A and B are shown apart, each in its own frame.
Chain A
Amino acid sequence: MGSLNIENVKKAFGPVEVLKGINLEVTDGEFVVFVGPSGCGKSTLLRVIAGLEDSTSGRVVIDGADVSATPPAKRGIAMVFQTYALYPHLTVKNNMGLGLKQAGTPAAEIDRRIGIASSMLSLEPYLARRPAELSGGQRQRVAIGRAVVREPKLFLFDEPLSNLDAALRVNTRLEIAQLHRRLKATMIYVTHDQVEAMTLADKIVVLNAGKIEQIGGPMELYNSPANEFVAGFIGSPKMNFVDGARLGETAKTIGVRPEHLTVDAKSGAWMGTVVHAEHLGADTNLYLDCEKAGLITVRIFGVYNAEPGATLYATPDPARTYRFGADGKVLK
């Protein structure tokens, strides 16, 4: 009902190759998140799937049918944009109904679907308003509603939360997760925020510079990153990377997550001075300048009192230490 296959898709803008051969399989009902740093080609890939951009080569297959030559409106997709992109001259109701009207859906059916979507997203009081009369969060819900009423095979979200403030972002994230559970539709979601990726995804696709670095479930990426890039991108605060030679290791780089380090005032593997301490209540982030390992971050659960300038010893958990080769790949 909503599967997607991307086969060796490449996209170049003039001489610049933005997508360098993407292969991906999405099964029906999956929630897939594309994550990667800004400018890595996530939006471009999403636009190729939507048909808003032609790929230079490769195939996009939705539900078994090659849609490479199908216009966006006929692909059975719906898209939610970062800037909401509501039609400023139409009311909320007409914003949601326009796509169906263009497709020649009977008015009664349009009304029925708008009714369902607007109650799902608590938009009923605003149906007669124009986008200019709504708050940012309401506008984004209208944009989501506009996607829902189309009953698409595939939902595409392009950074839908990045224009919202922090509190609203968490709420809307929750709403999208519930929406996915209710509709059981296939959703593809683009973000540069690894927290959004971890919290929403069934499957995360990590992109970097137009290439897929790794595909996997959130825990799979956290526990067994394939390379240095994924290890550094997933998890917050970021994984510590230490030059292997300084530690007398054969690996090029040693990686250890801040939460997999323990500290002690008396003894430990790496001696260092406290540079700064961040007290977040539930946990404490310590920045240590170590003799052997350089500047590292340590995450301690709960409250830990450490003054800047104090000497502490950090010890990595050997079972949770990653070793990377010269090519950045994990060494087994």
Chain B
Amino acid sequence: MSTATHSLPRTIGAHVVLLTYTVIALFPVIIVIMNSFKSRAAIFGAPLAPPTPNTFDLIGYTTVIGQGDFIHYFQNSLVVTVASLFFVLLFGAMAAFALSEYRFRGNSLMGLYLALGIMIPIRLATVAILQLMVMSGLVNTLTALILVYTAQGLPLAVFILSEFMKQVSDDLKNAGRIDGLSEYTIFFRLVLPLVRPSMATVAVFTMIPIWNDLWFPLILAPSEETKTVTLGAQLFLGQFVTNWNAILAALSLAIMPVLILYVIFSRQLIRGITSGAVK
């Protein structure tokens, strides 16, 4: 700690900045979770106070669980997020490999075309997407959401992954070719494990907007059968009366799955980094 680059005032300064940022970033989340355990009167009476034995109330959670379908909404959200994530990573990595590995006519144009989606928000095309889904009979199906989210996530995935795939040693791939491995084996067995940290990064970037999205579930799949958690939570937002206990409880619960996925991926991230360091 007492090396030239780590003087004490500097260390303290850095920690103060980082801790302040952490507090600011976590503040709304903590308020939500705290208030989800309080009675309605206490939420409005002292919104910043933590729950005490007097104000502690699980009414929010019992309402949410009691609403029966909520488990089902969770399931929908999870299916949509995991399936979209899977397709984004699979197709994104495959496209990135093709772009970085093979020389063909129009390679850079194709790369540009695939990256264009980063700059153009997919929501601009909502009307066209809705028409498309109506015509293909996919309205009110999870498939519709998975397709849209896959399209939404691919541009960034291709862009980031192709940069990383360019760094994978040519010699390694060529050694595989001389040993008679197919291009698919080279991709899945040699290249993918080496870009795992970047896959984890892409997974986190892709997953969170999908999980939190309200727009497409509302437009493409608002039926009771296909509601996602974010859409389901709207149930408690009335025009005149809002059930804050239930909303806060639903939001607190909605944080959990995405947090778990995040922990899984960041493990991968760290493991990828260390295995690279030892190699």
Contact = CB atoms under 8 A, between A and B. Distances in A.
Interface in B168-187: 169, 171-172, 174-181
Contacts of A331: none
B171 A82 contact: yes
Size class of the contact patch on chain A: 20 to 34
- Which of B174, B175, B193, B278 has the largest count of A CB atoms less than 10 A from its CB? B175
Nearest to B194: A88
A85 interface: yes
Contacts of B275: 132
A99 interface: yes
Contacts of B174: 47, 50, 52, 72, 79, 81, 85
Given A132-B278, A132-B279, A88 B177 contact: no
Given A82-B171, A132-B278, A87 B178 contact: no
Contact of A85 (B175, B193, B194, B278): B175
A135 interface: no
A73 B172 contact: no
Nearest to B182: A102
Contacts of A23: none
B278 A78 contact: no
Nearest to A75: B178
B169 A72 contact: no
A83 B172 CA distance: 8
B15 interface: no
B190 A87 contact: yes
Given A87-B190, A132-B278, A132-B279, A99 B179 contact: yes
Contacts of B176: 87
A89 interface: yes
Contacts of A167: none
Contacts, number: 60
A74 B179 CA distance: 9
Interface residues of B, number: 18
- Which of A79, A85, A103 has the largest count of B CB atoms less than 10 A from its CB? A85
Contacts of A132: 275, 278-279
A79 B175 contact: yes
Given A88-B193, A88-B194, A72 B172 contact: no
Interface string B209-253: 000000000000000000000000000000000000000000000
Given A88-B279, A89-B193, A72 B177 contact: yes
If over half of A's interface residues share one DSSP class (helix, strand or loop), that class is named, otherwise mixed; here it is mixed
B177 A85 contact: no
Nearest to A73: B180
Interface in A83-101: 83-89, 98-99
A84 to B, nearest CB: 8
A114 to B, nearest CB: 14
A89 B178 contact: no
Contacts of A98: 179, 181
Contacts of B177: 52, 71-73
Contacts of A102: 179-181
A81 to B, nearest CB: 4
A77 interface: yes
Nearest to A81: B171
Contacts of B175: 79, 81, 85-87, 146
Contacts of B190: 87
Contacts of B166: none
Contacts of A103: 180
B171 A83 contact: yes
Contacts of B271: none
A89 B189 contact: yes
A73 B186 CA distance: 14
A221 B73 CA distance: 79
Given A81-B171, A85-B171, A73 B178 contact: yes
A258 B6 CA distance: 54
B180 A77 contact: no
B190 to A, nearest CB: 7
Given A72-B177, A73-B179, A89-B193, 19 more contacts: A47-B174, A52-B174, A72-B174, A72-B178, A78-B178, A81-B171, A85-B169, A85-B172, A85-B174, A87-B172, A87-B176, A88-B194, A99-B180, A102-B179, A102-B181, A131-B279, A132-B278, A132-B279, A158-B171
Interface of B: 169, 171-172, 174-181, 189-190, 193-194, 275, 278-279
> Top 3 A-B pairs ranked by shortest CB distance?
A73-B180, A99-B179, A85-B171
